[in-house]
Chain A
């Protein structure tokens, strides 16, 4: 199966997309295009089959963010540069359940990493952050994401961290 990963386009077919998670389905069908083109709060990349290049089989969404320096706990800020901490948010990643087991998830993740490295070289970025569903934490950990300790363990998601330097080292090795 030859696939292409590219930015979401307006005439992409998303109506039948089903990753068996209503939040992620709904985001792609109702918000991804608007968020990308109109209010600019996330860029969505989709994976399509070369033979049906309009039908979306999976997607991920990226955005940039930053942690303001003054939001860090006071006892930790000593010696910290006087700048906010820039980061990239891997906001969504989902694959249609009918394509499960074909390696699309890892391919999407690899593309998200390559884009993140490219962006980090243009505008600066320290890490990638994602809020993973708890049953997906081990999947993200396999690719180097580290869970952040949290005070709210009852949330459905776990915030995870991947150092951009780890990614760059991977590309250089």
Chain B
């Protein structure tokens, strides 16, 4: 008996879908509603699913080094530039340069890299959260 209820519980847990909740600013909320209407998507789940599929496609394209652009009927092109997408582009791999070092700099560098990392400064935390 307990084994059966345990199995059912495990199945329930397995099929439970993760929830996604987001706080939207009033403007974003209006945009989402407008998009849902335009796309004739009734539920938030379907909207989210389509948005994820589109984002996944865009990430895949940039990862392959492809540009994403729209083209007007007259042939004018507009390239999509989104900083987050640029970070996954293969061009993010940086070229290599050689630096000159003096002995004292190298000794300090080694001490710093061997030690525990410094705690982030307050300004750094604010910067990265901004």
A-to-B contact residues, CB < 8 Å: 4-7, 40-43, 62-67, 71-73, 76, 80, 85, 88-89, 91, 106, 109-111, 113-115, 118-119, 122-123, 126-127, 129, 142-144, 146, 148-152, 159, 161, 163, 165-167, 169-171, 173
Contacts and interface: CB of A to CB of B under 8 A. Distances in A.
B76 interface: no
Contacts, number: 142
A99 to B, nearest CB: 17
Contacts of B99: 65, 67, 89, 129
B123 A142 contact: yes
Nearest to A166: B117
B108 A148 contact: yes
Interface string B79-110: 00101001110011111111101111111111
User: Interface size for chain B: under 10, 10 to 19, 20 to 34, or 35 or more residues?
Assistant: 35 or more
A173 B106 contact: no
Given A126-B113, A152-B102, A166-B124, A65 B83 contact: no
Contacts of B118: 144, 146, 163, 166
A110 B109 contact: no
Determine chain A's interface SS by DSSP, over half rule. mixed
B92 A89 contact: no
B130 interface: yes
8 contacts: A6-B86, A42-B94, A72-B106, A144-B120, A148-B108, A149-B105, A151-B103, A165-B117
Contacts of B124: 142-144, 166-167, 170
B87 A43 contact: no
B121 interface: yes
A73 to B, nearest CB: 5
Contacts of B83: 4-6, 111, 114
B102 A122 contact: no
A60 to B, nearest CB: 12
A149 B113 contact: no
A41 B96 CA distance: 6
Residue of A127, A159, A165 with most partner-chain B CB within 10 A: A159
Contacts of A43: 91-92, 94-95
Contacts of B93: 64, 119, 122-123
A105 to B, nearest CB: 10
B128 interface: yes
A156 B123 CA distance: 25
